[in-house]
Structure 1
Amino acid sequence: MSLFRIRSSLNTVYTLWLREMLRYKRSRSRIIGSLATPLFFLVIMGSALGSTMTMQSGRYIDYMAPGIIGMSILFASLMGGISIIWDREFGFLKEILVAPVNRFYTALGKAAGGVSTAMVQGTLLMFISGLIGIEYISIWRELLCIPIMFLMGLGFIGLGITLASRIESHEGFQMMMTFITFPTIMTSTAFYPMKDLPGWLSIPVRLNPLTYGVEALRWMLLDASDVPIVLSLTVITAFALTMMGIGSWAFDRAGDQ
């Protein structure tokens, strides 16, 4: 690949990333909602369930915090896929697909924007929850959560791009997103420990990539996890690479239709 093509590809990725970030920055309601809803879950559900559940490793609200952060990453990343549908309806997607740039870099730019917004939301949520009384191990362990958020976001934005490349309408995408997100959250360890689950439920929980993302965050923030950290990092890395590959392929095929 020539130097000109490399620069052109990188400019494409940067331009699409910057466009997504500016769109996110200008949508104050989206920023407020993306933080208020998870904090509501954390404070209300954490306090209510914490009064009825006994955790050996500490308070239930502390245990729940990494799960809420993981839930926020999941929602934000999947929502990044809907920008493809918006761009298709307004004709912007057609314009960028006819550009003399490999479509992989176009998909990468869209993914970079979606992952960045998810990481911003997850990081803000992590620090705000620390300010309201969630007890984390240390600030350094919190910073190490950022690469984990990146891997989680990359995997789920890949899934979002795949869905958006195959679905034509906002309504269809949102219905499919609801169909995916709630089962994914409820069959993870976001709200309850893996060791306390009945046998039949432990199977989907162990097959769920969100479980390993949440457990990696929980190990970093609380120094407690039901899954070895090496296994968690391996699974979310493999999930991120796989879904980005599938998402790029689906995006490329959508451009040919």
Structure 2
Amino acid sequence: MTSPKTAAVALESTTVTLPDTALPAGDLPAPRLLGPAFALARREFTRFIRQPHRVIGSLGQPLLFWIFLGAGFTPSFRPPGMEGMTYMEYFYPGVLMMMILFASIFSTITVIEDRDQGFLQGVLVAPVPRLAIVLGKVAGGSSIALFQSFLLLLAVPFLGLPVTLSGIALVVMAMVLSAFGYTALGFAIAWRMKSTSGFHAIMMIFLMPLWLLSGALFPTAGVPGWLSTAMALNPVAHALTIVRAPFYADAATALASPAYLTSLAVVVGWVALCLWWCASRVSRRDKGVQG
């Protein structure tokens, strides 16, 4: 019979071996980035599709602008160097830009709604990278804007534009870049907003001047000097340039144009800056919660 002293010694000398699957807390694999980002983006797009009135309203406003303004201004539209072009043809890229701009920006209202409903707080405490939140919300809002603008892109064959397949590819690329830039801008502003009404008021201050000074409504040639400078500094004007040019030139011709390459570089830099701003704001908020 084993004595209590012998049992105690045997217990102390016993080595407990952990299974091979057990890992220290510090060695747990980091959560993946693309999985959570894709889930958030899919949620944004699914919520949009399930609201038919939102889909109709987003498509209806730009179409009404295009039809009424196009029909009204066509008889008096005679800009130099654009002989034979109707105002509906000239205004078409501007309507595309309007749809992308407004749909991208206002899709980020869900950031405020998700915070009010508690969903955003749940995402923030989840073990996912903060960059996944940025990429998911921005990609979701961009997909909403691109879905609507691609529907309007179906009108190209009926306008008689001399567009080529390579030109269409450049147009799509420009639309994707623009959507990401606008959505990232809206996300960065909405992140600290407390109400949707305040977001609407702030964004209208930015939206209308950005769009009006892009050359969407009127050509940039012949405008006053101060207005020409403002339009040259406007990233939306450069985004409209890389959307409009491929309708009248193939990819090789467009990419050989210094003006096109300059506008493309401005848009790419602007998109990168907006994404960095988003990541910076989300990171600062996270540090504030921990501190």
Report the TM-score, using the length of structure 2 for normalisation.
Answer: 0.81
Distance 1:135 1:3 in 2: 56
Distance 2:54 2:165 in 1: 27
Query: Are positions 1:5 and 2:24 aligned together?
Result: no
Q: Which has the higher helix share?
A: 1
1:248 alignment counterpart: 279
Q: How far off its partner does 1:251 sit? A: 2.5
1:98 alignment counterpart: 125
Listed as ranges, the gaps of 5+ residues in structure 1 are: none
Contact 2:108 2:190 in 1 (8 A): yes
Q: How far off its partner does 1:196 sit? A: 2.1
Distance 2:145 2:45 in 1: 11
- The alignment's C-alpha RMSD in Å is 2.1
Contact 1:50 1:60 in 2 (8 A): yes
Query: Are positions 1:158 and 2:184 aligned together?
Result: yes
Contact 2:33 2:131 in 1 (8 A): no
Distance 2:203 2:278 in 1: 15
- Percent same amino acid at aligned positions? 31
Task: Pick from 29, 41, 50 the counterpart of residue 17 of structure 1.
Answer: 41
Larger gyration radius, structure 1 or structure 2: 2
Contact 1:138 1:221 in 2 (8 A): yes
Task: Pick from 269, 275, 286 the counterpart of residue 238 of structure 1.
Answer: 269
Query: Are positions 1:117 and 2:144 aligned together?
Result: yes
Report the TM-score, using the length of structure 1 for normalisation.
Answer: 0.92
Distance 2:160 2:277 in 1: 37
Cα distance 1:117–1:35, how it changes in 2: closer, same or farther (>3 A)? same
Distance 2:145 2:98 in 1: 10
Aligned length: 254
Q: How far off its partner does 1:235 sit? A: 0.7
Listed as ranges, the gaps of 5+ residues in structure 2 are: 1-26
Q: How far off its partner does 1:169 sit? A: 0.4
Distance 2:148 2:138 in 1: 15
Contact 1:74 1:156 in 2 (8 A): yes
CA offsets per residue over residues 158-206 of structure 1, 9 Å max, x none? 1101111121101100111111111111111111111121111011101
Q: How far off its partner does 1:3 sit? A: 10
Contact 2:37 2:135 in 1 (8 A): yes
Q: How far off its partner does 1:135 sit? A: 2.9
Distance 2:270 2:73 in 1: 31
CA offsets per residue over residues 13-34 of structure 1, 9 Å max, x none? 1100110110111111121122
Tell me which amino acid in the other structure corresponds to 1:20: E
2:24 alignment counterpart: none
Runs of 4+ displaced beyond 4 Å = 224-227
Contact 1:212 1:227 in 2 (8 A): no
1:68 alignment counterpart: 95
1:27 alignment counterpart: 51
Distance 2:94 2:28 in 1: 44
